[in-house]
Amino acid sequence: MDQLSGMDRSELSGFARKLPKTELHLHIEGTLEARMMFDLAERNQLSLPYRTIEEVEAAYRFTDLQSFLDIYYQAADVLQTEADFADLMSAYLTRVSAEGVRHAEIFFDPQTHTHRGVDMGTVIGGFVQAQEEAAPDITSSLILCFLRHLSAEDAMETLEAARPYLEYIQGVGLDSGEKGNPPERFVEPYRQAVQAGLVPVAHAGEEGPAEYIWSALDLLGARRIDHGVRAIDDPRLIERLARDRVPLTMCPLSNQRLQVYPDLKQHPLRRFMEAGVMVTVNSDDPAYFGGYVLDNYLAIAEALDLTGPDLVRLAENSVAASFLPSGRKAALLEEISTYVRRFVRRS
Ligand code: ADE
Ligand code: ZN
């Protein structure tokens, strides 16, 4: 294993690229690249507040979560037809299957679309078409998110609108502006979603306090916490996460761009790993935050001096923390160890 520990940056990058992994925190609307935004605006005859890629890049200098969300929800307006949603999903799956992603559990925000008159069936139909047509070496599932800046009643209506499509949806999540929007309000929509067979997860402790993580666990029954970085403030919570093996789906480049940790060297990922918490690395909204999942592995490795074995642990965690059946998990873990063995033998 010495070869793994002693890799320089370029070797580590080559190693991480093909390392089999899953992605568990990815908003499909956050994969809308500027190029595709322009193409879809043209296809749907819409005007955009930007004329050039440079203008887009200038707009993507975020000061906090809300400054990002304002731009992100507006950009989603270009998604109108089933083909648009299919193209978005297809581009993501194609792109990340080339960087070792073997499975992705993908968030979508139906209210962003239904509130502007796009039918739930159009959204899900497009996604499912692309998922079914994707390369055979990547699988994926969908997690329906409630927007927490909207009401519980709205969340309930969203769940009702999704009922005809539940066979295509694996989980329920909670996202959007966190501060002032604690999990408490969503107890009833979550209860109904779980009763309908969806697995609960929730964004918590990204900008909001550690108490929101306790509520997500105890009131919503969240099986994973998305972000969860603020748990670092609460030793009892760290113990609880470690003891119950509750995964945290962390997104380093997102935290950096949204000024949660402007300097990634301050990021708590390594401290969570050392405390025995099951952390995973993901991309959140890669078209907005400057990198897909591989870039996130490499950025956090560089900032925190992570080694090859640390990256292997993160990839193994990504499999263990997924909602895949145990047989597929075992097969993916075996793929990881075969990959590592071959890599060590070759170097
Ligand atoms: N929606 C998309 N990205 C998000 C994030 N980082 N936090 C909350 N809601 C989001
Ligand atoms: Zn997120």
Q: Give residue-wise pLDDT tens across range 125-179.
A: 999 999 999 989 999 999 999 999 999 999 999 999 999 999 999 999 999 999 9
Residue 120: partners with Cβ closer than 8 Å, 6 or more residues away: 110, 113, 114, 161, 162, 164, 165
pTM over 0.85: yes
Sign of CA dihedral 157, 92, 248, 139: positive
Structure tokens at 264: 């990634």
From the CA of 106, which ligand is nearest? 2
Backbone angles phi, psi at 224, to 5 degrees: -140, 155
Ligand 1, from 67, 68, 149: best to mutate by most atoms within 8 Å of Cβ? 68
- Of 113, 20, 28, the closest CA to residue 286 belongs to 28
- The DSSP output letter for 275 is T
- Return the structure tokens found at 346: 């070759």
> What is the per-residue pLDDT for 69?
98
Choosing from 284, 288, 289, 296 the residue with most ligand 1 atoms within 8 A of its CB, the one to mutate for a pocket test is: 284
For residue 251, give the ligand 1 atom closest to its CA: 6
* CA–CA gap between residue 209 and residue 231 (Å, rounded): 8
Residues with beta carbon < 5 A to ion ligand 2? 284
111, 149 Cβ separation under 8 angstroms: no
CA of 281 to the centre of ligand 1 (A): 15
From the CA of 346, how far away is ligand 2's center (Å)? Answer: 37
Query: Quick check: 223 and 199 in contact, CB under 8 A?
Result: yes
Q: What band does 1 get if pLDDT is binned at 50, 70 and 90? A: low
pLDDT score for 45: 97
Going from the Cα of 26 to the center of ligand 2, the distance in angstroms, rounded, reads 6
| Residue ranges lining ligand 1, Cβ < 6 Å | 27, 30, 65, 175-176, 203, 206, 254, 284-285
Six-digit token pair at 65?
């979560």
State residue 2's pLDDT score. 74
Are 100 and 21 within 8 A, CB to CB? yes
How confident is the model over 52-73, as a mean pLDDT?
97
The answer to whether the CB of 89 falls within 8 A of the CB of 127 is yes
Catalytic residues: 206
Contact between 194 and 200 (Cβ < 8 Å): yes
Residue 347 has what pLDDT? Answer: 80
Mean pLDDT for the stretch of residues 297-311: 98
Strand residue runs (E) in the chain: 21-27, 101-108, 139-147, 171-175, 199-200, 202-204, 225-227, 248-250, 279-281
- pLDDT for the residue 3: 81
